Structure 1
Amino acid sequence: MFSFGGGGTRTVPRSPGEGGKGSRTALQRELQSLRSEDEETPIPFIPGAVVPRVLAEDLDAVPALPEALSSLSGATGRKGKLYMLLIFFVLLTMPAIVVAKLAENFSSYFHSKPPSARSVVQARAAWFMGGGEDAGTDYEAWAKGLVAQMTTEEKFRLIDARGYSGWTALEGYFVGSILAVPRLGIPSIKMQDAEAGFRTIDKRMIGTVTSWPCALVLSASWDPQLTWKWAEAMGQEFRAKGANVALGPAVNVHRVPFNGRNAEYISGEDPALGESLVPAYVKGLQEGAGVAAVVKHFTLNQQETLRTTVNSQADARVRWEQYYPPFEAAVNAGVAAVMCSYNYVNGLQACSNHEVITDDLKSRMGFEGWVMSDWWALTGPEAAAAGTDMDMPGNDDNFAKHKLDSLPAGRVEEMVMRTLIGMRRSGAWSEPPSFDCRVGCDCGDSLYSVNATSDEHVALARRIAAAGAVLLKNDPIPKKSDRVLPLKAGQKVAVLGAACDQSQDVDAMMKEWTAANYYVLGGSSRVLSPYTVSVVAGLKGRGLDVRTSAEDSLAAAKNSMVGSDVAVVCGGATAAETKDRTTLSLDQELFIQGVVNAGVELGIPVVVLAFAPGAVTTPWRDAATGVVTMFHSGQQTGHAAADILLGSVNPSGRLPVTFPAQEADATRPCESANCPYTEGLKGGWHMYQGLPVAYPFGFGLSYTEFEYTAGSMKTNSDANGRRGMSVNIRNVGARPGSDIVQLYVGFPVSATTQDEPAYRLRHFKKTKELQPGESEIIEFELSPRDETIWDSSLNMWDMVFGDYTVFVGSSSRDLHLCGSFGNQLGSDQTRWVPLGKCRLENGIAKPTGA
């Protein structure tokens, strides 16, 4: 800004991006706008430009220049004075221009608009790491070279998080934040919870991200490809919001059906289910979206009751066979990080347990990334010596420098290297750092304002919610041959109960972080959306005559049922982090029982739609005509429910958990400090072995029917020790549909296998959508690992020899084909019984020819 005396104030345009010729051109425009044709005083450096009359008069009013300055400028009079004014202007403004330019470059290096949704892996850029990714990258050498350049303070930046005041993340910080090391070009590490999408911890985030179905919905889909798509899309939203680490997947195998976090745990009740879905989740995030995955919670974290003090007691064989496989699958998929859990394991806090963190995870599984603590899980700095590499969220001071001085030489450097390796190898740093905001500086816009969701993501959320819906019962309408589902256009449908029309009260939910409803879980996995669709809203406009009674009043329900063709009654249960469920009943159990009884009295078929956070009891099931369960399915719950009820989507979901016949049959959380896993290897769905159940693990119906026939069985192992078998699946119904084909294996009977369950799920495959009359051959392979048990004395997997039984079915208790083969020590040739119809012996399926 220039002051020209009586001529007033004139502003010469300039910006941080303009310098040199740009500034000179702007000055030229301003001065030429003041030009007077009769002025004769030329303007220095600008050919043809002359000083306007008013400026000339102002220059005349300025006292004569001292001789020293006149000689410096090389001119006198008006021209000399003008020279000096320009020199003073340059001296005054140049520092500001330089600083602004540096700031611009600095900002562009660490911050830009979020990247477009595309495969990050295909567009990896070369930056401070010195080149792109390739199979021959020596990550250890790269990380070691960086660490060698770091100061002590810079090393601790990467192992001791920042960004919290008490229990609350600071403005502009993520759920977890590791500061950048700008001197070496190392970006921030920015973490957010991820079990149902980008966690909405601030009201400003709500509506900017998708509220996805919970992980247990993916478990119920039994579909690795769909899990990949879910993780990739979720990762794209993380990228858009500025995050580069997703705190998921959570993979703990269900032991306690009452666990408040079971809906977060993608493994359901069986490690083999987790083994198949977890790699898809990890790779979808990392390879598909360039977001680092964190598998959690390691280990034996099976209940919320006493969650920071309970001592889970299980021997090595139980850990390796029942609870470690999903974690090991994540490690084999290249997961960037592992989160250790709150609980104790065999007397030591999990994060401070050298046996499970260093011996089992890092040495025997070969995990090369970093281990982070759960939030405030550490009980002291001894966790670093046990193998934990990062303290989250960092404000407990456990990894402060003065507390880690006693660590062995090189341990801090190893902690830093593991973090660097995990981030780089995951692809989370594969975009140039100009795509990343810098936590603590400029992440506010990404966190709170950027809209990361899309119509495509909402459509995918709807598809996933429908794929994870499970049809449990579908009886014929009384006195008719047609089954009650799918609903038909024009039917008069009474939609009953408050759960069918539950609203999403965002303001009320935000007041308590563990608040939950029938769409979302409470706690760190919660993602709220103002666009959540209820069942009533989903059914309207779909060709039905919908009559609603949005209250849990039996009298009102009966009034709506009179004259209706069918009734749909909704009920649900909620669950949240920090506490276990006190019951497996639905909240509306008595209301539902009353409605189904009224249906029997009035001759009206009743469909029960149950929103479940895990296993539930169903005492009303016998009186109901139809039963559908949906695990908490996020913002598209209502549309997905309508898709299933109307048959626009043929249900293909299967239960990832058991629905017990009665609550008393389910394992309860331990109420005392010590929690021995007395069931040993018979946890999960095996806990109901020998007991009747309402609906077994792996069960689910379709609107069509499938026929199983035996294919080939190649039990002589190949060069890789694998055995193969195939099954032909034929759609014998009238509608297109998909089936989930499940392979179970029983070990030879011996002293070493007497504690094993009767049979274990080993593999499963989902058929393509089969048209009526169409068939598909499903092929399975058994690897040598499938024929081993954990030998605790040798700390390794040990082959079991003898006669194995194999079962192929549509659930753990619906086994259609049985066979057997022998694994003889020192021989590739084995005795075998081909797959055929099963026979029952003392209630247990056996091969017909055995």
Structure 2
Amino acid sequence: MDSSTKKMLQRAGALAAGAVLMAGLAAMAQSVPVVTGDARVDKLLSQMTLEEKLTLIHGTQEDPKVYQGQAGYLAGIPRLKIPSLRFADGPPGVLTRVPSQGETATMGVAATFSVKDAEDNGLVIGREDRALGIDVSLQPFVNIDRDLEFGRGYNTFGEDPYLTSVMGVAEVKGIQSQHVMAQIKHYVGYDSDNENTYIDDQTLHEVYVAPFDAAVKADVSSIMCSYNKLNDVFACGNKDTMTGILRDELGFKGFVTSDWGAVHSVDFIKAGLDMEMPGEPDPNNHGFSIPSFFDSRPVPPPPAPGAMGDIGDMFGGHIPEEPKPAGFGGGNWGVKLDPKKMPEALKDGTVTEADVTRAAGRVLYEIVHFGYMDGLHKHEVTPQAIEANAKIIEKTGEDAAVLLKNEGNVLPLKSNDLESVVLIGPTAAQVDSIGINGERSVGLPQRQVGPLAAMRKISGNADIQFAVADDMTGTTIPANLLSHDGKPGLARSGGGAEKVDPQLNFTTKAGNALPPNSTVTWKGTLNVPKDGEYWIYLQAMGTNASLKLDGKKFAATGAFQGGVHGDILQANQDNVVPTTDNLDNVRRSIELKAGEHAIEISTSSDTSNAPVQVRLNWYTPEQRQSDHDAAIAAAKNAKTAVVFAWTRLSPVFGLPGDQNKLIEEIAAVNPNTVVVLNTSQPVALPWVDKVKGVLEMWWPGDEGGWATANILLGKTSPAGRLPVTWGKRLEDYAATDPKHPERSKRAPDKKTIYSEGVNVGYRWFDKENIEPLFAFGHGLSYTTFEYSDLKVGKLQDGGLDVTVKIKNTGSVASDEVPQVYIGAPSQIPEGVQFATRALAAFDRVHIGTGQTKTVTMHVPERQLQYWSIKNKKWVTVTAKRTVSVGGSSRNLPLKQEIN
């Protein structure tokens, strides 16, 4: 056989062998049903039993030996080396039983108008998640701040869908860069405290779905569906939005998790829900249970009366400065459209195995694509990158600072000002790091340096004066006012011995903290010297504690086993700030008559194994008045008075307590009064015309004291911008306009109709010609800028490039935030909504003194389109429109018409 014939036969043999191999692979492929289109995922699914697939679509309880107090847990499948998943709350930060860094509040991140800052904050969140053994980060929160009465509006990126989309995507990228899944929330229409929201299809797409659309394009791993009904259908069981929009229109491949308790029927899986959380009930039934449907566990009986014990409010409860809350209605929790659970549904065909396989496949797809089956899964708790994270948190706090008013250039404070300046208010001495604990990290108290100490350190002037005005730590109730059975002191029982303690003051600072896990009760009598409103402070750490007064429950710490998360008490749990020695601080007010009152304080273990610290302080009416008067006197004697004011959530659009009165009185005695605000929503400023300066620092995180000091001292020029419109009255906003009760959270029949349509936030103010106090996008600087040479270029991708020159005409190098707004078209199609103008691009650039920079901002095609309800697609307008550029939505010096 010649060599050529031999080669020909060898080639033929090889081809035949190849054909056999290909046929074998084809047969194998045919045996693996296509579910996700990913060969590895689909092969794993084909190897799984039905029970194993079910494991991937509902939460369960983690082994108590390794449980980290996180929000949720999904069991893995060891047989196939599919790992379990831990889910932890934010935003921002990470909330587990291990304390983690307090970051700048979401609204503050939005105020930076910096994509880099947002991505860096995502990086911090992802790093903290990795260090604390978390796989799925339940953030960012991209609902729209349409209603200041919405109790969770503070957690948003503000009122604008484009800003929210850009910042949300940046955070997703930062989180997921650390091999942590971001779960963007809450889908969709969760922008009101009402149970049922009605949104027309154009508004839904352009405003409320838009941030989720952007996140899907950025490959977000997962989405959390929301509690509310949307157009009468529960969001987590709404096929139109969960499948029609999310899957069919947006092409989302990841998984959808229910908010905790937002499932009301097993057939939600048919609508597009993939995973139920928290899932299987806790067999130990720590006080309450949430109905579950995707598992096979029997429903536990309701908790016995008193099973919740003396737990406090998991979100901190109201404090003396705040009005008493109306109470928690429970919303849609516990609603059962059908009590049937998964085993019955599979048996009667309500749910098929194909439904389960599809849902499990979406979860498994993300587990595989995040490398969790290839060595990137990590549940060990390892050291946190504290210093690296702190640099980002401090910079974000500075970049978020919005200088609202600066009459006569009262800020920054000059070195000679510091010889006669007084800082006033409790959040001047202690940084208002997190505002309210909510579902977020509560910070590391040891890092929380207050603005006062930071200013003294940075300036080198140790004599900067301070007046507390409202002492949130108080003083320990004196021994001469405490007794038991007619004898001095409180009777202590438990902890191995019966004792009498003259006062209740056991702390690490005092050197007498009790041993870890001490369970102790003190009983006795409090002898009140005179009638009045007393503020009682129950302070604790390393334990939970409760207080009874005259036989009734009066106060309790807000952490508890099986509670929101964490299972251990942390210092920022229950008050605006911890005590000055870093204890949790439960503060309550009560009118007391002179004379004896029965008192009882008890502790219970919190799993931290830390020394038990307990203290009972108070703030008497006489001391409150004295501190108030001292603050006024200090302001009168100073050249400049800097008043620090704060809010949490209540009252809506107002400062709690007598802060407005305090500012008015200080402004009356000091013409150079500056107010520093720590809020996360606009509030009424009745004194704004009487003060020289107003600086919004938001809730700046653990490093916020340094950030505040750097802004006040001029080490950094403020350049933050308002991500919300700051109205003059609450009634000026669309959702709280009394002429439109259907828009409010108190709408008739529990149906909130978003009848303002696309005109949310500043768009409403523009449409109605309402003058805001401070416009969306507003923010001053320690310098001035001049805009010129606007050029608009059309691009092949359908978008625009908007170029402008910006010159720093002042004497301070600073960032500037140019903003591009697109006006409504000259001809509007019938039945289509357009805002007067809408944000379409922005940037943040640093410009030196006298320097001119050319800045190009890209307007995506989507910002030039509208959603056609008639055609069910995005349509680009061909009529004339105006491109406007400037420093805020109401300061737009440059304009150009485009076709």
Between the aligned partners of 1:691 and 1:792, the Cα distance in structure 2 is 29
Task: Give CA-to-partner distance per residue, 1:338-377, whole Å, 9 cap, x none.
Answer: 1000000000110010001110111101100000000011
Q: Does residue 562 of the first structure (1) align with residue 641 of the second (2)? A: no
Q: Measure, in 1, the Cα distance between the counterparts of 2:102 and 2:678.
A: 16
Contact 1:245 1:428 in 2 (8 A): no
Give the distance between the partners of 2:666 and 2:276, measured in 1 at CA: 57
Q: 1:548: Cα distance to partner?
A: 0.8
- 1:12 is matched with none
Amino acid at match of 1:417: G
**Contact conserved, 1:809 with 1:817, CA < 8 A, in 2?**
yes
Q: 1-side partners of 2:873 and 2:831: how far apart?
A: 16
Distance 1:324 1:397 in 2: 27
Alpha-carbon contact 1:738-1:766 (below 8 Å) kept: yes
Matched AA of 1:458: A
Does residue 583 (structure 1) correspond to residue 652 (structure 2)? The answer is yes
Q: Under a length normalisation based on structure 1, what TM-score does the superposition of the two structures give?
A: 0.71
When structure 1 is superposed on structure 2, of 812-821 and 628-637 the one drifting more is: 628-637
In structure 2, distance between residues paired with 1:311 and 1:726? 43
> Structure 1 residue 279 and structure 2 residue 169: aligned?
yes
| Residue deviations 1:365-418 (CA, integer Å, cap 9, x gap) | 110000000001111112111110000010233102414412245111110110
Match of 1:292 among 149, 157, 181: 181
- Conserved 8 A contact 1:521-1:632: no
C-alpha distance in structure 2 between counterparts of 1:486 and 1:819, whole Å = 40
Q: Paired residue for 2:713, among 607, 622, 646?
A: 646
Of 352, 372, 385, which aligns to 1:429? 372
Contact 2:106 2:155 in 1 (8 A): yes
Task: Specify the code of the residue in structure 2 equivalent to 1:756.
Answer: F
Is 1:546 equivalent to 2:464 in the alignment?
A: yes
Q: Alpha carbons of 1:242 and 1:164: their partners in 2 closer, same or farther (altered >3 Å)?
A: closer
Partner of 1:800: 877
Q: How does 1:138-149 map to 2 (within 5 A)?
A: 140-149=38-47
Q: Deviation string for 1:579-604 (max 9, x for gaps)? A: xx44211125x44454355435444x
Letter in 2 for 1:633: P
Q: Does 1:159 align with 2:75?
A: no
The answer to whether residue 791 in structure 2 is matched with residue 700 in structure 1 is no
Using the size of structure 2 for normalisation, the TM-score is 0.68
Match of 2:159 in 1: 269
C-alpha distance in 2, partners of 1:595/1:797? 50
Partner-residue secondary structure (3-state), 1:355: helix
- Cα-Cα RMSD: 2.2
For residues 13-59 of structure 1, give each alpha carbon's deviation from its aligned partner in whole angstroms, at most 9, with x where no partner exists: xxxxxxxxxxxxxxxxxxxxxxxxxxxxxxxxxxxxxxxxxxxxxxx
Say whether 1:488 aligns with 2:381: no
Alignment CA distance shift 1:653-1:172 (3 Å): closer
1:754 to partner: Cα distance: 6.0
Check conservation: 2:182, 2:222, Cα contact below 8 A.
yes
Cα gap change, 1:711 to 1:680, in 2 (>3 Å): closer
Matching residue of 1:217? 108
CA–CA separation in structure 1 for the residues paired with 2:371 and 2:434: 30
- Structure 1: which amino acid aligns with 2:842? F
Measured after TM superposition, the shift of residue 540 of structure 1 is: 2.5
Q: What letter corresponds to residue 626 of structure 1 in structure 2?
A: G
The partner residue of 1:498 within 426, 431, 434 is 426
Match 2:249 to one of 364, 369, 385: 364
Question: Superposed, which structure 2 residues align to 1:206-605 within 5 Å?
Answer: 206=99, 209-266=100-157, 268-286=158-176, 288-303=177-192, 305-306=193-194, 310-395=195-280, 396-400=291-295, 401-405=342-346, 406-425=350-369, 427=370, 429=372, 432=375, 436-437=378-379, 446=381, 450-476=382-408, 483-488=410-415, 490-502=418-430, 519-531=434-446, 532-543=448-459, 544=461, 545-552=463-470, 553-575=627-649, 581-588=650-657, 590-603=658-671, 605=672
The answer on whether the counterparts of 2:411 and 2:714 sit within 8 Å (CA) in structure 1 is no
Q: Call closer, same or farther: CA 1:601–1:333 in 2, change over 3 Å.
A: same
Who is 1:742 aligned against?
A: 819
Q: Does 1:761 align with 2:834?
A: no
Question: Cα deviation per residue 1:124-174 (whole Å; 9 max; x = unaligned)?
Answer: xxxxxxxxxxxxxx9622211110001122111110111179xx9994463
Q: Aligned AA for 2:419?
A: Q
Q: Highest CA radius of gyration, 1 or 2?
A: 1
Q: Secondary structure of 1:385's match?
A: helix
In the alignment, the residues of structure 1 paired with residue 213 and residue 399 of structure 2 have an alpha-carbon distance, to the nearest angstrom, of: 27
AA in 1 matched with 2:706: H
Q: Deviations over 1:94-119 (max 9, x none)?
A: xxxxxxxxxxxxxxxxxxxxxxxxxx
The count of residues paired between Structure 1 and Structure 2 equals: 632
Residues 521 and 144 from structure 1, CA distance in 2 versus in 1: closer, same or farther, beyond 3 angstroms? Answer: same
SS at match of 2:762: helix
Q: Which runs of 5+ in 1 are unaligned?
A: 1-137, 438-442, 477-481, 504-516, 576-580, 823-850
CA distances 1:755-805 after superposition (whole Å, capped 9, x unpaired): 3211111111111x2110111111133343222111112211112221111
From the two aligned structures, give the one with the greater helix fraction. 1
Identity of aligned residues (%): 28
Flag the 1:561–1:428 CA change in 2: closer, same or farther, 3 A: farther
Helix, strand or coil for the counterpart of 1:147?
Answer: helix
Verify: 1:709 aligned to 2:627, yes or no.
Answer: no
CA 1:645–1:146: 2 relative to 1, 3 Å = same
CA distance in 2, matches of 1:325, 1:140: 27
Q: Deviations over 1:677-705 (max 9, x none)?
A: 11111112223231111111100011111
In the aligned structure 1, how far is the partner of 2:151 from the partner of 2:163?
A: 20
Choose between structure 1 and 2 for higher RCO, CA contacts under 8 A separated by at least 6 residues: 2
Residue pairs, 1:671-682, within 5 angstroms: 671-672=746-747, 673-682=750-759
1:68-97 Cα offsets, whole Å, 9 max, x none, are xxxxxxxxxxxxxxxxxxxxxxxxxxxxxx
CA drift at 1:535 = 2.5
Q: Cα distance 1:659–1:469, how it changes in 2: closer, same or farther (>3 A)?
A: same
Match of 2:653, as an amino acid? L
User: What is the aligned partner in structure 1 of residue 490 from structure 2?
Assistant: none
User: Aligned partner of 1:189: which letter?
Assistant: L
